[in-house]
Structure 1
Amino acid sequence: MNEGLERIALSTGVMLAVRMAGPREADPILFLHGFPESHRTWRHQVADLSRDHFCVAPDQRGFGASDKPGAVKAYKTDRIIEDLIALADQLGIGRFTLVGHDWGGAASWLAALRHPDRVVRLVIVNAPHPLIFQKSLIDDPEQRAASQYIRAFRNPLMETGVRAMGLERFFEKSFGAHVDLARIPEEEKQAYLRDWGREGALTAMLNWYRASNIKVPKTGRRAMKPLWTHAPFPKLKMPVLVVWGMKDKALLPVQLEGLDALVDDLALVRVEDAGHFVPWEKPDAVTGAIRDFLST
């Protein structure tokens, strides 16, 4: 999937490495990956969907071959959404289908809320709605326990720990606990190791967690939900597809509860035999769900 990877300068001040495929005149789909990945998350989906769509899959800031600003504040979700819109503008794309997984999905939820004039359809793959996620981190003991890794990733000593264990071991822990590593070809593993070994890459990737406003209390500690979770939350009006690997150990099925109250036009596809990295584990299921969604 490295063929066609281009570095594109954006008005936000960063250069993103972007994989583009498919006819430029076709309906566009923008893909946003999550942690600790790159545009390669979508290699199977782009290979199929680019037959009749213009597919755009960037390495998001901090990841892969894209720029890696040093400041934590450079990774706030606002900056990620600005990159998305700037990339679409740079490519002359007006309205588009947006597909996001993990952190890319978190940004996609908010991008759709803030730019409904640009996001014509939204596809979320194992990424929680911000309101449901924040509430669950307070109210659901199992989800809070499953999310303690976020607290660890925010620790300023995390990079030291990763370097001490080595990138190979980090690969086994970050992927191996959540995906059948037999599904990851050796060349893909080596590509990730190269990406993570780039100057500043570890800090940049972890800064996504440090820049987030999501509150993750310690397990067993009494906590109050942030005030914003008590206020009316806007509903999404465009069609939304949520694809969920039901064996996800980090984002539990509680994240699907109440989605229909926040989305007017919701389609939900549960992939029972896949975990968090469902685009890798069950690529055909993800691609098929997207194709079916786009045809309706």
Structure 2
Amino acid sequence: MTEAFQRVALPTGVELDVKVAGDSRDPAVILLHGFPESHRTWRDVQPDLARDHFVLAPDQRGYARSSKPPRVEDYAADKIVADLLALADHFGLDRFTLVGHDWGGAVAWMAALQHPTRVERLVIVNAPHPLVFQRSLFDDAEQRRASQYITRFRDTSIDQGLTGKGLEAFFASGFARLLTRAVGGEDKAAYLDEWSQSGAMTAMLNWYRASAIIVPAPDEDPPRPAFLDAPFPPVTQPTLVIWGMGDEALRPVQLDGLAAYVPDLTIARIEGAGHFVTWEDAPAVVQAVRDWGI
């Protein structure tokens, strides 16, 4: 197995750092991390897959030392999906298995829906289907309460305090504590270094600010959008959803009714792990993927 870290300039206007592993002649897998991570999400997953796959794990736009465009709209989902396809093109990948966690999973759902000729198979790790998630924010009080951090992250006034001790405090509280509770030592230090890069915190939070997801307040009774009860296109690819059942941010309600939108669906529930399941129980994630046939 070969392994390298490459800087790739894309025609979308950004440069991404990409952890590349495996033989380029083998079937391709692209791994997409979420907030507030990087390619490190897959540290204990990528090496196993690379035994018989060509595996790319990019630091997505806004993260670590990859490019950090300045505007909120630079982080709209269509631009990030465009990065993904441009990255695949750069490595000559016509079709690939796509794996996404958290925000990387959100990108993966969209890419699979919009580009079925490119995404051959889909693996989602603790990342909700877009319609199921939005519906749950209206219909499930527990999920609505758990998602209030999104509203906080959209407040641009928090950015100026996210340096030095303020940065460490941010990652010791709220949603972010779920990661730092799972990661320690040199790994935590590496993340703190990535988060401390100029513009990184604003760029990462801009993913939330660019999103169209509606997050009502816990006591709010907002008008119900018509699209929540309208037809929604199915995901046509074989899809594996891996879920750490102790996820405090994305509740297990995200699995309810999912099969209606994903006809070829396999669900692997991992007990004893939460949102950052690739850190909390990487062997179970690898086993689920391998059992599914990758």
TM class by shorter-chain length?
Answer: over 0.9
Letter in 1 for 2:236: K
Q: Which residue of 2 aligns with 1:146?
A: 146
Q: In 2, distance between residues paired with 1:233 and 1:159?
A: 36
Q: Which residue of 2 aligns with 1:36?
A: 36
Post-superposition Cα deviations, 1:45-70, rounded to whole Å, max 9, x if no partner, equal 10111111100000000001100000
Q: In 1, distance between residues paired with 2:195 and 2:230?
A: 39
Structure 1 residues 50 and 172: alpha-carbon distance in aligned structure 2, compared to 1, 3 A threshold: same
CA contact 2:180–2:188 (8 Å) conserved in 1? no
Give 3-state SS (helix, strand or coil) of 1:124's partner.
Answer: strand
Structure 1 residues 176 and 106: alpha-carbon distance in aligned structure 2, compared to 1, 3 A threshold: closer
Give 3-state SS (helix, strand or coil) of 1:80's partner.
Answer: helix
Give 3-state SS (helix, strand or coil) of 1:188's partner.
Answer: helix
Give 3-state SS (helix, strand or coil) of 2:162's partner.
Answer: helix
- Deviation, 1:179, is 5.0
- Deviation, 1:231, is 2.4
Post-superposition Cα deviations, 1:96-153, rounded to whole Å, max 9, x if no partner, equal 0000000000110010000110111000000000000001101111111100000000
Letter in 2 for 1:199: S
Q: Which residue of 1 aligns with 2:208?
A: 209
Q: Which residue of 1 aligns with 2:62?
A: 62
- Deviation, 1:264, is 1.1
Q: Which residue of 2 aligns with 1:272?
A: 271
Give 3-state SS (helix, strand or coil) of 2:117's partner.
Answer: coil
- Deviation, 1:272, is 1.0
Letter in 2 for 1:217: P
Most deviating of 230-239 and 213-222: 230-239
Q: Does 1:105 align with 2:76?
A: no
Most deviating of 162-171 and 23-32: 162-171
Letter in 2 for 1:38: S
- Deviation, 1:175, is 6.9
Q: Which residue of 2 aligns with 1:7?
A: 7
User: Structure 2: 5+ residue runs without aligned partners?
Assistant: none
CA contact 2:171–2:180 (8 Å) conserved in 1? no
- Deviation, 1:292, is 1.4
Q: For 1:1-296, list aligned pairs within 5 A.
A: 4-163=4-163, 165-173=165-173, 177-179=177-179, 181=181, 183-295=182-294
Most deviating of 71-80 and 187-196: 187-196
CA contact 1:30–1:57 (8 Å) conserved in 2? yes
Give 3-state SS (helix, strand or coil) of 2:44's partner.
Answer: helix
Give 3-state SS (helix, strand or coil) of 2:110's partner.
Answer: helix
Equivalent pairs counted in the alignment come to: 292
Letter in 2 for 1:261: A
Structure 1 residues 179 and 273: alpha-carbon distance in aligned structure 2, compared to 1, 3 A threshold: farther
Letter in 2 for 1:210: R
Structure 1 residues 236 and 176: alpha-carbon distance in aligned structure 2, compared to 1, 3 A threshold: closer
Give 3-state SS (helix, strand or coil) of 2:92's partner.
Answer: coil
Q: In 2, distance between residues paired with 1:225 and 1:191?
A: 43
- Deviation, 1:226, is 2.4
CA contact 1:138–1:224 (8 Å) conserved in 2? no
Structure 1 residues 174 and 86: alpha-carbon distance in aligned structure 2, compared to 1, 3 A threshold: farther
Post-superposition Cα deviations, 1:68-115, rounded to whole Å, max 9, x if no partner, equal 000000000111100000000011001000000000001100100001
Q: In 2, distance between residues paired with 1:191 and 1:231?
A: 44
CA contact 2:241–2:268 (8 Å) conserved in 1? yes
- Deviation, 1:40, is 0.5
Q: In 2, distance between residues paired with 1:204 and 1:176?
A: 16
Post-superposition Cα deviations, 1:154-194, rounded to whole Å, max 9, x if no partner, equal 0011213433752222333367742573x524121111111
Q: In 2, distance between residues paired with 1:271 and 1:4?
A: 31
Q: In 1, distance between residues paired with 2:42 and 2:27?
A: 17
User: Structure 1: 5+ residue runs without aligned partners?
Assistant: none
Q: In 2, distance between residues paired with 1:83 and 1:112?
A: 14
Give 3-state SS (helix, strand or coil) of 2:45's partner.
Answer: helix
The alignment's C-alpha RMSD in Å is 1.5
Moved over 6 A (4+): none
Q: Share of identical aligned residues, percent? A: 55
Structure 1 residues 219 and 185: alpha-carbon distance in aligned structure 2, compared to 1, 3 A threshold: closer
CA contact 1:179–1:275 (8 Å) conserved in 2? no
Structure 1 residues 41 and 175: alpha-carbon distance in aligned structure 2, compared to 1, 3 A threshold: farther
What is the TM-score when the length of structure 1 is the normalising length? 0.95
Letter in 2 for 1:91: F
CA contact 2:244–2:273 (8 Å) conserved in 1? yes
What is the TM-score when the length of structure 2 is the normalising length? 0.96
Q: In 2, distance between residues paired with 1:187 and 1:57?
A: 20
